[in-house]
Amino acid sequence: MSKDNPVATYDVAAKHLQIVQACIDHLHDLGATHELKILTGRLQRLALWATPVEPEIAKREQEKTAPAPSPGAGGGIERKARDVALPARKTIRPI
């Protein structure tokens, strides 16, 4: 897998997702609700992390949460969309 090739990386992820789907189907067949709940939480975090953030949306969200500059502060520093705080990436342990 090449680090600079997003298509190759996507292909690897898609193959692994097929395996995950098969495992989820099997857990459903077994009635393993506890294990499915654990996987649900992990998959939700992954889905959030995998969702791309459009620069315009990030800027609007940043403006909503940024405190107003204090008078006479000189205008402050302009932040870029990449500076918007994202949820902390947690290490996902293999099953």
Q: Which domain holds residue 45?
A: 6-64
Is 15 within a domain?
A: yes
Q: Does any domain span residue 45?
A: yes
Give SS3 for 86.
coil
Q: Is residue 81 part of a domain?
A: no
Q: Is residue 82 part of a domain?
A: no
Provide the pLDDT for residue 14: 95
Q: What is the chain's Cα-based Rg?
A: 20
Number of domains in the chain: 1
Distance of alpha carbon 2 from alpha carbon 38, whole angstroms = 31
* List of residues 6+ apart from 69 with CB closer than 8 A: 75, 76
What pLDDT is recorded for position 57?
73
Alpha carbons 20 and 73: distance in angstroms, whole number = 52
Output the pLDDT for position 83: 46
Closest of 53, 60, 54 to residue 79, by C-alpha: 60
* Residue at 69 is within a domain: no
Query: What residues in the chain have per-residue pLDDT under 70?
Result: 1-2, 68-95
The span from the first CA to the last CA of the chain, in angstroms, equals 22
